[in-house]
Amino acid sequence: MSLAGMKCLVTGAGGFLGQRIVCQLLEEEDGPAEVRALDKAISLEALQNFQKVKTKSVLTILPGDIRDAASVQTAVQGVSLVIHTACIIDILGLVDKQTLWDINVKGTQLLLEICLRNDVQYFIYTSSLEVMGPNSRRDPIYDGDEDTVYESTNSLPYAKTKKEAEKSVLEMDGLPLKDGSAFVTCALRSMYIYGEGSNFLQRHVESAIRNNNVFFRMSVKEALVNPAYVGNIAWAHIQAAKAMKDPEKVKKIRGQFYYISDDTPHVSYSDLNYELAKQLGFSIEPKLAMPLTMLYWYALLLEIVSFLLRPLVKYIPPVNRHLLTLTNTPFTFSYKKAQRDFGYKPRYKWEEARKRTCQWIATLMGETSLKSKAA
């Protein structure tokens, strides 16, 4: 199936993942008639990336806030497919709870309501692995799937907002539209996403450069996870969209969530940074700065200090107990259900993903060197 003739909306189109989804939609040989890119702000670099794509599709840039009904109404009108990536990712507590809720949950619910009023038929939601966990006990999962039973105790605002938004999306599947058809929804739970342009990866690289090209270790080697390349996560969205138009495949995927990973080796978060940059001469600390139990006590102390200072100043600790749990719990998942139900297959193999990311890291090294000389 193709997306030919469709009008598609991508929310969060200026983000790390959203940009890739827009570009891949534009690259489709039998692509959509129109791709609408909605975001509060789309960088010049993103616009240049869009312009590089040779396409027959019309690209419409729409500045707008997901919380603003007028902006959403303008973006949705006449659209048949929405890919909703817009959200705030926050694992350190940098964003207040109400803002997270307003954007991640209320923004999603507003978008869903306006989609229903405008007879939008297909809706794909970018969810997160944190909907599942890991929990505070650091119970591991090895090669889990959509049927894996797990007691999640993650009460942090970001995880709660993603879980609630995903619930809203899946519960609306099957609701009737004005034309007599039914609303079709699904959610893609992505693993940790890496690749060129990742703000998280950039911060780790810049920190390593200041440390004589040595990555700090935040996770033990045994804490295996399966990160996924941004191009493959984007590709899963495209393949899910195509499957929604297939009368047989749509029966399987509607109202379902899927774990999306790829063939990146299972490594710890810290060791992933090293694997991506070691060809450039980077190394990594062999072990944690202190035993993991002591790191938890240290993180708790910082959280207490943050709480005591709250009436006077906003202090955000560089590490917290949730971050330590996230980076030190074995947590891997299979993408077999996505492969079986809608034909998901990674577009980029590990070696190509690593090469592309490594080349980007090399440019960061050059930029950092120039800044140092200028200083």
Which residues carry out catalysis? 158
Q: Which helix (H) or strand (E) holds 233?
A: helix 230-244
> Are 24 and 235 spatial neighbours (Cβ–Cβ below 8 Å)?
yes
Residue 81 in tokens: 């497919």
How many Cα neighbours within 13 Å face the side chain of 353?
Answer: 23
Q: Determine the Cα–Cα distance for residues 369 and 375; give it in Å rounded to an integer.
A: 10
CA–CA–CA angle 90, 94, 99 (5° rounding)? 75
Helices 230-244 & 350-374 angle (0-180, nearest 10): 130
Beta-carbon contacts of residue 151 (< 8 Å; ≥ 6 apart): 135, 139
Nearest to 66 by CA among 94, 101, 36, 38: 38
> Are 364 and 206 spatial neighbours (Cβ–Cβ below 8 Å)?
yes
Q: Determine the Cα–Cα distance for residues 89 and 104; give it in Å rounded to an integer.
A: 9
Helices 269-277 & 350-374 angle (0-180, nearest 10): 80
Q: Which residues pair with 59 in a beta bridge?
A: 35
Nearest to 231 by CA among 277, 191, 194, 272: 194
DSSP letters along 101-160, please?
IIIIIIHHHHHHHHHHHTT--EEEEEEEGGGT---TT---EEEE-TT---------HHHH
Alpha carbon 335 to its chain centroid, in Å, reads 16
Find the farthest-apart pair of alpha carbons in the chain and give their distance in angstroms, rounded: 65
> Are 217 and 284 spatial neighbours (Cβ–Cβ below 8 Å)?
yes
